[in-house]
């Protein structure tokens, strides 16, 4: 049985990945802690990006259905030859390593931090009564701050706390750190504590969700930026020395040789808080350090593999991310770059779209050919051909093939080819496929709307940022309960790391 599998694998200190190929909704509604979601509908693109080495040790969770069997077959065809299959099932209740939710690894870690750190906290009611002269700081990336925040809050991303510690101290005021909920504000406050910050600070308990639950209104489109990315690296370097984080400097001329010498390491450029996973030169991924910590399951996916963080600024971003990834159990080092990385050359894409092809699609629709649209459900809702049907490859695995031929609509050529191949193996007749291009259609020609609660999206606590107060309450309660539900050996390791003392 799968109970304890992750803890056992993690305890060997050998590299591995634990893969769950169910669709996102099913995964979020219940999964084994530490597993990485790689849905069958995006399996090839996801695993070749996150685990390009076909010999890497992969442990696959087999839910003993047709979709899992198809995923296993696909991984074998891609050449992943070091794979162990683990038959699994959902237990009767949550806990003992079976959890629900998104980004549970980092969320659980944040709650362990919260339970360990004994941080000062201020509730919304206490803020209104006693702390209105304090400074509010939203520690999420600035783009998230601009969507919604607390009234009068300033943007100060966690990744820039070290670079702005002196400015915070010089303000002479209490710094109240907040996010949308709990995790990131707790991480921010603990960053100040780990840096030996001696000014007054506290966590605004529950963030914007608690503010709404108390009947208050959030602010939208705020533009108050406190953070300044000072180029003086002394503060970040002192922090890394304090916590034994290895760092070095590198010139662009030596980058290729450095990457070749560290080919097995995961490499991220965390110099830009707005980055979302763009590929840079030498295969380095550019991503916000804050989001890298928040979404380790989507960005790292492998355990006991070295992680290298590149930073061409003050080093504050890399030092912050390295400290927290290290506390989670990753082996992290920092490299200062003298200049920004170049964007990787765009990969050539086959162009199948043309006005003639669009007209052919419309003709086939008129002829009542079955049009199956395999794009993400959000794209389908935004606009689709009249009469087309939204489909997901995982959910078609157990379906009997239709006697009529179908035309596959997809987002890109590689996905279309893979879907057509998988369906053909199941006995479906494929008439062809069309790579969607918005420019092919007058929006007035398209229908909007789509499937309710589709399997490629999560509906868990979905309304918490949109005024659904019960979702906000349930989300905050879910976060606080996580430490009791994860694998206890890992919980104990986290506590041990978090209570360790810095270098003298």
Same domain for 193 and 239: no
CA distance 499 to 161: 21
Say if CB 408 and CB 419 are below 8 A apart.
yes
Which one of 185, 215, 231 terminates a domain?
A: 231
What is the three-state SS of 182-208?
CHHHHHHHHHHHHCCCCCCEEEECCHH
Same domain for 201 and 296: no
Q: Does any domain span residue 501?
A: no
Same domain for 285 and 204: no
Q: Does any domain span residue 345?
A: no
Q: Does any domain span residue 456?
A: no
Q: How many domains is the chain partitioned into structurally? A: 4
Same domain for 147 and 102: no
Same domain for 383 and 325: no
Relative orientation angle of helices 66-77 and 43-50, to the nearest 10 degrees: 50
Q: Does any domain span residue 160?
A: yes
Structure tokens, 368: 């009542």
Same domain for 101 and 22: yes
pLDDT of amino acid 354? 46
pLDDT of amino acid 395? 92
Q: Does any domain span residue 350?
A: no
Which one of 182, 203, 231 terminates a domain?
A: 231
Same domain for 333 and 309: yes
| Neighbour tally for 170: CB within 10 Å | 10
Half-sphere exposure of 456 (CA within 13 A, CB side): 21
Question: By residue range, what is the domain housing residue 64?
Answer: 5-110+464-496
Q: Does any domain span residue 103?
A: yes
pLDDT of amino acid 230? 61
Phi-psi region of 432 (alpha: psi -120 to 50; beta: other; left: phi over 0): left
What is the three-state SS of 140-184?
CCHHHHHHCECCCCEECCHHHCCCCHHHHHHHCCCEEEECCCCHH
What does each C-alpha distance from 430 to 363, 369, 372, 471, 483 come to in angstroms? 17, 11, 10, 42, 48
Same domain for 225 and 134: yes
CA 415 to chain centre: 21
Which one of 209, 231, 253 terminates a domain?
A: 231
pLDDT of amino acid 502? 81
Q: Give exposure, 37-74, as e/b (b: 16+ Cβ within 10 Å).
A: bbbbbbbbebbeebbeeeebbbbbbbbeeebbebbbeb
Same domain for 271 and 176: no
| Neighbour tally for 365: CB within 10 Å | 16
**Are β-strands 98-99 and 31-32 bridged in parallel, bridged antiparallel, or unpaired?**
antiparallel
pLDDT of amino acid 351? 45
Q: Does any domain span residue 364?
A: yes
Strand order across the 175-178 sheet: 121-122, 201-204, 175-178, 135-138, 154-155
CA distance 254 to 249: 10
Same domain for 475 and 402: no
Output the domain CATH number for residue 384. Answer: 3.40.250.10
CA distance 259 to 308: 10
DSSP letter for 484, please.
G
Tell me the pLDDT of the chain (504 aa) as tens digits.
589 999 999 999 999 999 999 999 999 999 999 999 999 999 999 999 899 999 999 999 999 999 999 999 999 999 999 999 999 999 999 999 999 999 899 889 988 988 888 889 999 999 999 999 999 999 998 999 999 999 999 999 998 999 899 899 999 999 999 999 888 899 999 999 999 999 999 999 999 999 998 999 999 999 999 977 666 688 899 999 999 999 999 998 999 999 999 999 999 999 998 888 899 999 999 999 888 888 888 889 899 999 999 999 889 999 999 999 999 999 999 999 988 999 988 765 544 444 445 555 554 555 567 899 999 999 999 999 988 999 999 999 888 888 888 999 999 888 888 898 889 988 999 888 889 988 888 888 899 998 888 999 998 888 887 778 888 888 888 988 999 999 999 999 999 988 887 865
Residue 454, helix vs strand vs coil: coil
Same domain for 238 and 227: no
CA distance 327 to 218: 33
Say if CB 386 and CB 364 are below 8 A apart.
no
Q: Does any domain span residue 405?
A: yes
Same domain for 176 and 92: no
């Amino acid at each position: 049985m799968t109970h304890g599998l992750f803890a056992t694998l993690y305890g060997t200190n050998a590299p591995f990945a634990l893969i769950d190929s169910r669709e996102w909704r099913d995964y979020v509604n219940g999964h084994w802690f530490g597993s990485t979601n790689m849905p069958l509908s995006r399996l090839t693109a996801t695993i070749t990006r996150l685990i390009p080495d076909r010999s890497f040790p992969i442990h696959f969770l087999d839910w003993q259905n047709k979709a899992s069997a198809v995923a296993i077959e696909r991984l074998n065809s891609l050449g992943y030859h070091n794979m162990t299959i683990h038959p699994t099932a959902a237990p009767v209740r949550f806990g003992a390593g079976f959890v629900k939710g998104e980004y549970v690894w980092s969320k659980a870690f944040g709650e362990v931090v919260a339970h360990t750190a004994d941080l000062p906290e201020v509730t919304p009611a206490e803020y209104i009564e006693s702390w209105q002269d304090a400074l509010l700081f939203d520690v999420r990336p600035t783009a998230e701050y601009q969507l919604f925040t607390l009234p009068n809050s300033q943007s100060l991303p966690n990744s820039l706390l070290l670079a702005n510690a002196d400015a915070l101290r010089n303000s002479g005021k209490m710094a109240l750190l907040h996010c949308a909920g709990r995790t990131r504000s707790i991480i921010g406050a603990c960053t100040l504590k780990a840096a030996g910050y001696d000014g007054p600070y506290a966590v605004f308990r529950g963030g914007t969700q608690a503010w709404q639950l108390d009947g208050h209104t959030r602010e939208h489109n705020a533009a108050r930026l406190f953070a300044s990315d000072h180029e003086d690296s002394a503060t970040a370097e002192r922090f890394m020395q304090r916590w034994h984080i290895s760092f070095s400097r590198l010139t662009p001329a030596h980058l290729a040789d450095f990457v070749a010498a560290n080919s097995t390491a995961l490499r991220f450029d965390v110099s830009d808080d707005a980055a979302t996973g763009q590929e840079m030169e030498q295969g380095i991924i550019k991503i916000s350090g804050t989001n890298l910590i928040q979404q380790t399951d989507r960005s790292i996916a492998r355990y006991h593999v070295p992680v290298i963080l590149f930073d061409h600024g003050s080093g504050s971003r890399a030092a912050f991310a390295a400290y927290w990834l290290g506390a989670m159990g990753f082996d992290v080092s920092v490299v200062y770059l003298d200049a920004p990385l170049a964007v990787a050359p765009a990969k050539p894409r086959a162009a199948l779209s043309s006005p003639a092809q669009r007209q052919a699609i419309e003709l086939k629709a008129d002829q009542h050919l079955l049009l199956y649209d395999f794009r993400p459900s959000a794209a389908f809702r935004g606009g689709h051909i009249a009469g087309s049907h939204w489909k997901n490859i995982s959910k078609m695995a157990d379906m009997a093939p239709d006697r009529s031929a179908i035309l596959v609509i997809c987002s890109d050529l590689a996905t279309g080819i893979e879907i057509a191949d998988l369906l053909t193996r199941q006995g479906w007749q494929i008439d062809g496929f069309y790579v969607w291009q918005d420019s092919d259609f007058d929006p007035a020609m398209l229908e909007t709307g789509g499937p309710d609660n589709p399997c490629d999206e999560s509906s868990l606590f979905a309304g918490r940022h949109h005024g659904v107060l019960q979702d906000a309450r349930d989300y905050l309660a879910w976060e606080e309960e996580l430490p009791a539900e994860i694998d206890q050996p890992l919980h104990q390791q986290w506590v041990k790391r978090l209570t360790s003392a810095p270098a003298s």
